[in-house]
Copies of this chain bind each other. A is one copy, B any other.
Amino acid sequence: MSSVDQKTKVSPLVVVGTVAIDDVQTPFGSRESVFGGSASYFSYAASFFTQVSLVAVVGEDFPNAFRDVLAEQNIDLSHLEVASGKTFHWKGKYEDDLNTAHTLDTQLNVLLEFNPKLKFQSSPEFLFLANIDPTLQLKVLDQVGRSKVKFVACDTMNFWISNKKTELLEVLKKIDCLVINDGEARQLTGQSNLIRAAKDIQNAGPSVVIIKKGEHGALLFDRANFFALPAYPLESVFDPTGAGDSFAGAVVGYLAKSKDLGFNNLKSAVAYGAVTASFTVEDFGLERLRRLDQGQIEERLKLFKKICSF
């Protein structure tokens, strides 16, 4: 039932990951059947900066309305495969402090058989491997022609660090940038100090490491430089789902637009990531991003610079 039948033109940025339907409980309310998934948040956030091709799988139950949400942002859906069965479903709950998501239920459904096939006419310049099984991330790397891709970034999660570490270490050897949260960085390296953790990750492969610290901001490392950024301060966080994925989407989207991997530009990318993520958490799912425009992003970035400068 693949929708990928013939070779299509590739976007400057390709993301491979999950598209999901989420049930989310927060202290401010509950919402069922919210449009979610790592690749959804990533591609929507990246679409403010560049064109994105989304590589993912959904089930036959995937609503046309959700598809339209992405299509309206000019996201290339030629590689959004529709498989027999149901869409990946995640159910989660946030406690009062909104810092930790408790997974109540995970129905992998069509994800169980997901085997991404990239049928683009050429390699993308920028590639993001969102949080999926490292075995699949390796398959994608084999297909794209690694040497032809200018910049490959990757995310992962605690489950893969625990259960697919060998494969994950193989992925690390082949990428330019790992985007990971603080707890996962510590778990992956056994280092409680995040600067040491970043160095260990760099020694395993990627020259650029971005550590997401949620409400505490982010750290950025290349082999010679270091950058620390607080989070954009929000008085009301409504739903943290997708914050990390939309952060990564803005970071890599901005890099794909500017095509500059110098450290100063990496810093700007991370600042755009923090600002974009700060919008994501202001409403359920993709709702806030759908009401967002480039002007609001620039305005908040300006305010953010003022808040951080001394």
- Asked, given contacts A98-B192, A195-B234, whether A308 binds B308 with beta carbons under 8 Å apart, the answer is yes
Q: Is A235's beta carbon under 8 Å from chain B?
A: yes
CA separation between A234 and B226, bound complex, in Å? Answer: 11
Inter-subunit contact A219/B233 (CB<8 Å): yes
- Chain B residues near A213 (CB-CB < 8 A): 216
Interface flags for A217-242 (1: CB within 8 Å of B; 0: not) read 10100000011111101111100000
A310 within 8 Å of B by Cβ?
A: yes
- Is the C-beta of A267 less than 8 angstroms from some C-beta in chain B? yes
Q: Which residues of B contact A235 (CB under 8 A)?
A: 193, 195-196
Number of this chain's copies in the assembly equals 2
Q: Are A193 and B310 in contact (CB under 8 A)?
A: no
Chain A 275-310 interface 0/1 with B at a Cβ cutoff of 8 Å (1 = within)? 000000000000000000000000000000101111
Shortest CB–CB separation between residue A206 and chain B, in angstroms?
Answer: 19
Please tell me if the beta carbons of A310 and B271 are within 8 angstroms of each other in the complex.
Answer: yes
Cα separation A229 to B231 with both chains bound (whole Å): 10
A107 within 8 A of B: no
Whether, in the assembled complex, A96 has its beta carbon less than 8 Å from a beta carbon of chain B, the answer is yes
Residues of B near A229 (CB, < 8 A) are 230, 308, 310
A97 at the interface (CB under 8 A from B): yes
Judged by a CB distance under 8 angstroms, whether A203 is at the interface is: no
Q: Are B216 and A217 in contact (CB under 8 A)?
A: yes
Of chain B, the residue at the smallest CB distance from A267 is B310
Q: A193-B234, A195-B234, A227-B310 are in contact. List 10 more A-B contacts (CB 8 A).
A: A193-B235, A216-B216, A226-B233, A226-B307, A227-B307, A228-B231, A229-B310, A230-B230, A305-B310, A309-B309
A interface residue numbers (CB < 8 A to B): 96-98, 192-193, 195-196, 213, 216-217, 219, 226-231, 233-237, 264, 267-268, 270-271, 305, 307-310
Ordered nearest first, which 3 A-B pairs have the shortest CB separation? A228-B230, A216-B216, A267-B310
* 8 pairs, CB–CB < 8 Å, chain A vs chain B: A97-B192, A193-B236, A217-B217, A217-B230, A228-B308, A229-B230, A267-B310, A308-B309
